[in-house]
Amino acid sequence: MTRWGGYPDGERYALRKDLAALRQMASWLVVVQTVVVHCDRGKVATRGLFGLLCDAPVQIVDVAEVCRVEALFQLARDCEDRYRVAIA
């Protein structure tokens, strides 16, 4: 199954239809949740969440990519005690 933008092939049509509707709107409201992860490169590199060489420290993740979002939260939790970072 080929994936496009994080969506399975079967959802392409619905996504394109939604995007067409969004293009017709004069303005939109974008909701963003920020997850800050303070961690050493060694721990981050083993998970592959920030590029193969940790060369992509900022990630924009679609909310539909549930596994990736959960992996980022888990990484933040794993590093929380060491760096005293609160996860909300």
Tens digits of per-residue pLDDT, 28-62? 777 777 878 888 888 888 888 888 888 888 888 88
**The pLDDT of residue 8:** 62
* Contact status, residue 69 vs residue 34, Cβ threshold 8 Å: no
d(CA 3, CA 25): 27
**The pLDDT of residue 84:** 58
d(CA 1, CA 13): 15
